[in-house]
């Protein structure tokens, strides 16, 4: 397990990025209509057509508040989960938070971009059939539409929404539903995007004119900056493309840092406009050994 922590500062706001877990996903699912002959040059698939993925998480400290943006894959995995995601090693969330000067008990807000297993299951610990909350004192923030779809999955989404586990959040009184764009704490705003799921949201962190944006599975890797590179699992791919067209142009400046949730090489980056596409330049960060 990668133990390196990368950090950036936006004024007084401190952001730490770390690798929560290593796993794999089907390459066709990640790249949608893009032919394998093209995407396999970007990420080499294994013998089962799976490509390597990371669960990159972001810790944000704003004054008295400590937020975690998504929770990764975690350890409370069934045998079915392990077959689907092929995780390597244990979750790094505990050691990483310790290195950042925090702990699961000190997290005040868990902000879910959406509730797919690789973004939400790290919120649980212990027996996957009856897990405990890993962040017992945190508000767990999710869009109302996302929660409704997650606890009422259909044939297409049933495998990625683990209903009994998610219901633990509500049962413990830690669920906070939001509807649309909402400032969670001073300087940290969620913005509903749709696209990947009906209730998918991004997170924007601002300090003065400096900004960090995390739009999770709208742009899971730097390769997905290109408009047609949209995952096959996106429920509303045209909405994903529409949002990317507007969002990426808005982020192409030297005051915006973009976080990538699944990229294996770039965790923090700045966008640069090329002739036809956007490109990403990794941001130099302070590196703290975990």
Sheet bearing 175-178, strands edge to edge: 175-178, 139-143, 109-111, 65-69, 50-62, 13-26, 4-10, 286-289
For the chain, the average pLDDT equals: 93
Q: Which residues contact 246 (CB under 8 A, 6 or more apart)?
A: none
Task: Say which residue the tokens 């089907």 belong to.
Answer: 26
Q: What pLDDT is recorded for position 284?
A: 74
Per-residue pLDDT at 2 exceeds 80: no
Mean pLDDT of 108-112: 98
N-term to C-term CA, the chain? 11
Per-residue pLDDT at 225 exceeds 60: yes
Mean pLDDT of 39-49: 94
Cβ atoms of 135 and 104 closer than 8 Å: yes
Mean pLDDT of 93-109: 96
- Determine the longest span between alpha carbons in the chain, in angstroms: 52
The token duo for 123 is 């919120």
Determine the Cα–Cα distance for residues 234 and 236; give it in Å rounded to an integer.
Answer: 6
Q: Which residues contact 222 (CB under 8 A, 6 or more apart)?
A: 260, 263, 265, 266, 269, 279, 280
Cβ atoms of 224 and 280 closer than 8 Å: no
Domains of the chain: 4-289 (3.60.15.10)
Q: What pLDDT is recorded for position 4?
A: 77
29-38, 173-182, 267-276: least confident range: 267-276
Mean pLDDT of 213-228: 95
Per-residue pLDDT at 256 exceeds 60: yes
Mean pLDDT of 100-124: 97
pLDDT category, 274, cuts 50, 70, 90?
confident
The share of the chain scoring above pLDDT 70, in percent, equals: 97
Determine the Cα–Cα distance for residues 208 and 199; give it in Å rounded to an integer.
Answer: 28
242-252 confidence digits (pLDDT tens):
999 988 888 99
More confident residue, 118 or 253: 118
Per-residue pLDDT at 182 exceeds 70: yes
pLDDT category, 288, cuts 50, 70, 90?
very low
Determine the Cα–Cα distance for residues 20 and 35; give it in Å rounded to an integer.
Answer: 29
Q: Compute the CA torsion angle 103, 203, 24, 269 (nearest 10 deg).
A: -100
């Amino acid at each position: 397990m990668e133990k390196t922590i990368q950090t950036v500062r936006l004024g007084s706001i401190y952001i730490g990025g770390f690798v929560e877990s290593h796993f794999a996903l089907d390459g066709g699912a990640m790249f949608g209509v893009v032919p394998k002959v093209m995407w396999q040059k970007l990420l080499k698939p294994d013998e089962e057509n799976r490509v390597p993925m990371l669960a990159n998480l972001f810790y944000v400290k704003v004054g008295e508040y400590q937020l975690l943006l998504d929770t990764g894959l975690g350890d409370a995995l069934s045998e079915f989960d392990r077959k689907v995601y092929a995780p390597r090693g244990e979750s790094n969330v505990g050691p990483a938070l310790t290195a950042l000067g925090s702990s699961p008990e000190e997290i005040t807000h868990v902000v879910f971009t959406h509730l797919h297993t690789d973004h939400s299951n790290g919120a649980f610990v212990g027996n996957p059939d009856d897990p405990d909350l890993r962040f017992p004192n945190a508000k767990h923030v999710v869009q109302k539409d996302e929660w409704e779809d997650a606890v009422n999955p259909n044939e297409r989404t049933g495998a990625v929404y683990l209903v009994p586990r998610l219901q633990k959040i509500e049962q413990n009184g830690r669920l906070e539903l939001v509807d649309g764009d909402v400032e969670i704490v001073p300087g940290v705003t969620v913005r509903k995007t749709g696209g990947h799921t009906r209730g998918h949201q991004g997170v924007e962190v601002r300090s003065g004119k400096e900004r960090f944006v995390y739009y999770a599975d709208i742009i899971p890797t730097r390769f997905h900056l290109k408009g047609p590179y949209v995952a096959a699992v996106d429920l509303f791919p045209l909405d994903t493309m529409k949002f990317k067209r507007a969002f990426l142009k808005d982020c192409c400046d030297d005051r915006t840092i973009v976080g990538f949730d699944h990229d294996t090489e770039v965790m923090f980056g700045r966008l640069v406009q090329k002739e036809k596409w956007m490109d990403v330049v990794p941001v130099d960060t302070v590196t703290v050994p975990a």
